[in-house]
Amino acid sequence: MLIYYLVWHNKHVKQQYKEYLKLNKNILLGFCASIVISAIASQLLSGQKDYVNASLTLVVDYVVYFSTFGTLFYLDNRKKYVLESGELDRSSLKRDLLKVISSLGIGEVVYTISRWSFQYYLLSNSYPAYLSSILAQSASTCIYMATVNLSVKVMRLYKDEA
């Protein structure tokens, strides 16, 4: 959090880096919320077959993550697309939403496959359900973060306008 504070309050840091920080903050807070709830759900489902546990835990993970991420992303960007006249800048919003959804979509495919596979593997090897969920989500989150940040960079979502 100290790095976040120092970069955020430094007037010389480019706006694009602040945007990357906001996006990554929202992603990580979404995952923090979902890792706790997913572990609880996985443990509650521990009597189910491994593939059922992994599948239902993934659904819970997505509901919690997207609810949290979506809310935070909206709160951080709600004023970004309002013109001086007070009207919504629909073209900028549409363009950026397409880039965000594309970037996150690529990451979600990678995340879904790795998360489900890791959790199923761990459950099949007698790891406790809650621990399987936490380990699978932690590993998959690292892969997801790398994929999303690379996608955002390639798609130039936060291009340097200076």
Mean pLDDT confidence for 3-28: 69
Q: Is residue 65 part of a domain?
A: yes
Say which DSSP state 47 is in: T
Q: Is residue 12 part of a domain?
A: no
Q: Is residue 3 part of a domain?
A: no
51-82 confidence digits (pLDDT tens) = 999 999 999 999 999 899 888 988 888 788 88
Phi, psi of 80 (to 5 degrees): -65, -30
For 57-77, letters b (16+ CB in 10 Å) and e give: bbebbbebbeebbeebbeeeb
Other C-beta atoms closer than 10 Å to the C-beta of 14 total 13
Q: Is residue 108 part of a domain?
A: yes
Q: Where are the alpha helices (DSSP H) in the chain?
A: 2-8, 15-44, 50-77, 90-124, 129-155
The rounded distance, in Å, linking the Cα atoms of 20 and 29 is 14
Q: Is residue 33 part of a domain?
A: yes
The confidence score (pLDDT) of residue 110 equals 92
Mean pLDDT confidence for 130-148: 93
Report the domain count for the chain: 1
104-136 confidence digits (pLDDT tens) = 788 889 999 999 999 999 999 999 999 999 999
Angle at 118 between CA 72 and CA 51, to 5 degrees: 100
Q: Is residue 160 part of a domain?
A: no
Q: Is residue 100 part of a domain?
A: yes
Q: Is residue 61 part of a domain?
A: yes
Cβ neighbours of residue 148 under 8 Å, at least 6 residues apart? 23, 27, 103, 104, 106, 107
The domain in which residue 146 lies consists of 17-80+88-155
Claim: this prediction has a pTM higher than 0.85: no
Determine whether 10 is exposed, middle or buried from the number of CB atoms within 10 Å of its CB (0-12, 13-18, 19+). Answer: exposed
